[in-house]
Amino acid sequence: MDVQGKSLAGRRRLRNRSTLYAVLSLPLAFHLFCIFLAPNANNYIGMIAVPWVEPYVRALSIASTWGFFAPEPGPPPIFIEYELIGDDGESLKLGRFPDRERVSFLRERDNWELATVRYLMNDPAASEPVMVNWLCRRHPEAAQVRVWKLGFTLPGIREVSEGRASLLDESRAERRYAGSGVCDRHAAGTADAASNRRREGAAG
């Protein structure tokens, strides 16, 4: 192959490589665009890009807003509050997720729990089924689970600095009922019992 042929082959390989880099860079550029847009979507660009960006942002749970400490702390603490109900209707346990009393040695679990709560708080349809299924698996003694969304309004920085209020002041708690569900084994037992009653009625 002469010098001109080698030059043409080299330019062709360079062009193919540049095209490959450009194609591979498009998903990365879109991801970075979503990261920078999601916390600050209340603008003209955000309104235009919502139809294309929102499904991707929700799937990866990167829709959280930025919060800064000056002049007020934020964002406010959020929890999922739940109640476990036994077979005879008695309350077995009241709890919150994440559990404030448990702090992991590594922060990966804590970060996962915070991201999960943020996702559940932002999606009205997800909090009840997700928490009910998870709690039923963790607590087989429960027959039913009730779920609330719990948030706290933040006190002023002067109140906190003077010791007159705290970030988790229960008087500032705002609860919203999210729903309830029956654990699968009890739901199956209830359905079987109803079916048996129908058969007995038909036989009578």
**pLDDT tens digits for range 153-173:** 877 777 877 888 777 788 888
- The predicted pLDDT at position 50 comes to 82
Do 108 and 176 share a domain, yes or no? yes
Mean pLDDT of 126-132: 87
Supply the range of the domain harboring residue 27.
Answer: 3-60
Do 43 and 91 share a domain, yes or no? no
Do 88 and 132 share a domain, yes or no? yes
Determine, yes or no, domain membership for 150: yes
* Pair 93, 84: CB distance under 8 Å: yes
- The predicted pLDDT at position 189 comes to 47
Determine, yes or no, domain membership for 25: yes
Mean pLDDT of 67-96: 81
Residue with more model confidence, 18 or 141: 141
d(CA 125, CA 149): 12
Do 115 and 26 share a domain, yes or no? no
Q: What would the pLDDT profile of 14-26 be if each residue is shown by its tens digit?
A: 677 778 888 888 8
Do 116 and 174 share a domain, yes or no? yes
Residue 194 has pLDDT above 50, yes or no: no
Structurally, the chain folds into a number of domains equal to 2
Do 43 and 108 share a domain, yes or no? no
- Domain boundary (33, 60, 87) is at 60
Mean pLDDT of 86-103: 87
Do 139 and 85 share a domain, yes or no? yes
Determine, yes or no, domain membership for 106: yes
Least confident of 7-11, 32-36, 158-162: 7-11
Do 133 and 94 share a domain, yes or no? yes
State the SS3 of the chain. CCHHHHHHHHHHHHHHHHHHHHHHHHHHHHHHHHHHHHHHCCCHHHHHHHHHHHHHHHHHCCCCCCCCCCCCCCCCCEEEEEEEECCCCCEEEEEEECCCCCCCCCCHHHHHHHHHHHHHHHCCCCHHHHHHHHHHHHCCCCCEEEEEEEEECCCCHHHHHCCCCCCCCHHHEEEEEEEEEECHHHHHHHHHHHHHHHHHHHHC
Determine, yes or no, domain membership for 169: yes
Do 37 and 102 share a domain, yes or no? no
Do 165 and 101 share a domain, yes or no? yes
- Domain boundary (60, 88, 109) is at 60
Do 110 and 182 share a domain, yes or no? yes
Do 104 and 171 share a domain, yes or no? yes
How sure is the predictor about 96, in pLDDT bands with cuts at 50, 70 and 90? very high
